[in-house]
Amino acid sequence: MKTSKVIIITGASSGIGKETALKLIAEGHKVYGAARRVDLMQDLVAAGGFALEMDVTNETQIKSGVKQVVDAQGRIDVLINNAGYGLYGAVEDIPLDQARRQFEVNIFGLAAITKEVLPHMRAANRGTIINVSSMGGKMYTPLGAWYHATKHALEGWSDCLRLELSQFNIDVVVVEPGAIATEFGDVVVDPMLKNSGKGPYQKLAHDIANATREIYSKPNAASPASVIANVMSRAVSARRPQTRYVAGKMARPLMFIRKYFGDRIFDKAVMSQVK
Ligand code: NDP
């Protein structure tokens, strides 16, 4: 029987977050899902979890959500920073306010909830923070400059956090998913075509839209979210979790090529996927 932990997971209304929340609830943990669409977390509540209305860019909602958990449970053992989305389009086309919003959600929102949770973990002298990065935190794709900028930033940010929190017995874990069948692809495609579907980058934008639709809709082209939920469950229950977990379609081969071959070879490998 695993120890029951108090867990907050952001982005629990869909995809990886929802699948992970349901698995952790089934394993007997006290799980608080957080997202903007509370209506889409009612299955978590029915399964025995809790739903917090939280936009990760809204500090008032973050503060009240964390307070609600501490008031009810007296502690937070695990924070899973999973909420995020991919802003795609050419750098020349994407308005900077959209780029700033990408950083607000994928980095500063994640940082805001982490800052709110840390005093409670420090007081308990234990805890685990799991940051959902991406294989895209180590490699790159065309028209993904702003998304990859946030995930590359998250990789370095998480490494620094691990160093400063080890003295308080708080683990920091990075999860790097490959292609996972969720709403992620739909969220990418329409705004990308709005930004770059016409004009000098249109061919690339339409090629990437087609490749993205294919990956996220074709059976077996992307892994099911359960692949990442299993990894999260391992990280939550491990006495000494790994610093990084890599899982899901394409993650290992692409990260291998990126790590051991030169930029030009990786450029060719990644561009061969969108033609
Ligand atoms: P989904 O689009 O299915 O889920 C994204 C979740 O993030 C939703 O629950 C959404 O909830 C939440 N979210 C988005 N914006 C905000 C916000 N401002 N405040 C609070 N919650 C927000 O995608 P995934 O499950 O695939 O994505 C989860 C994580 O996995 C992301 O960080 C993504 O970058 C990462 N990832 C995904 C990959 C994939 O192929 N699917 C690959 C690599 C990494 P709501 O809209 O209700 O607020």
The CATH number that applies at residue 199 is 3.40.50.720
Length of the chain as a residue count: 275
The reply to whether 137 falls in a domain is: yes
The reply to whether 237 falls in a domain is: yes
Res 2 pLDDT > 70: no
What does the DSSP 8-state code read for residue 179?
A: B
Q: pLDDT tens for residues 77-86? A: 999 999 999 9
- Percent of the residues in the chain that have a pLDDT greater than 90, as a whole number: 96
| Tally of structural domains, the chain | 1
The reply to whether 63 falls in a domain is: yes
The reply to whether 198 falls in a domain is: yes
Q: Of ligand 1's atoms, which has the minimum distance to the CA of residue 135? A: 43
Q: Is 114 in the pocket of ligand 1 (CB under 6 A)?
A: no
Average pLDDT over residues 250-261: 95
The reply to whether 1 falls in a domain is: no
> With contact defined as beta carbons under 8 Å apart, do 132 and 79 qualify?
no
The reply to whether 13 falls in a domain is: yes
**Residue of minimum CA distance from atom 17 in ligand 1:** 55
pLDDT band for position 191 (cuts 50, 70, 90): very high
Q: Of ligand 1's atoms, which has the minimum distance to the CA of residue 151? A: 34
Fill in the amino acid letter for 163: L
130 alpha carbon to ligand 1 midpoint, in Å? 14
Q: Is 179 in the pocket of ligand 1 (CB under 6 A)?
A: yes
pLDDT band for position 275 (cuts 50, 70, 90): confident
Which H or E run contains 62?
helix 59-73
Phi, psi dihedral angles at 94 (to 5 degrees): -75, 120
Exposed / middle / buried, residue 95 (Cβ in 10 Å: 0-12, 13-18, 19+): exposed
The reply to whether 168 falls in a domain is: yes
Q: Is 144 in the pocket of ligand 1 (CB under 6 A)?
A: no
The reply to whether 91 falls in a domain is: yes
Q: Which residues are the active-site residues?
A: 13, 133, 147, 151
158 alpha carbon to ligand 1 midpoint, in Å? 18
Which pLDDT does position 1 carry in this prediction?
A: 52
Average pLDDT over residues 104-130: 98
Q: Which domain holds residue 168?
A: 6-271
Exposed / middle / buried, residue 269 (Cβ in 10 Å: 0-12, 13-18, 19+): middle
262 alpha carbon to ligand 1 midpoint, in Å? 31
Phi, psi dihedral angles at 123 (to 5 degrees): -60, -35
Q: Is 246 in the pocket of ligand 1 (CB under 6 A)?
A: no
Average pLDDT over residues 89-93: 98
Q: Is 183 in the pocket of ligand 1 (CB under 6 A)?
A: yes
Phi, psi dihedral angles at 81 (to 5 degrees): -85, 95
**Residue of minimum CA distance from atom 31 in ligand 1:** 84
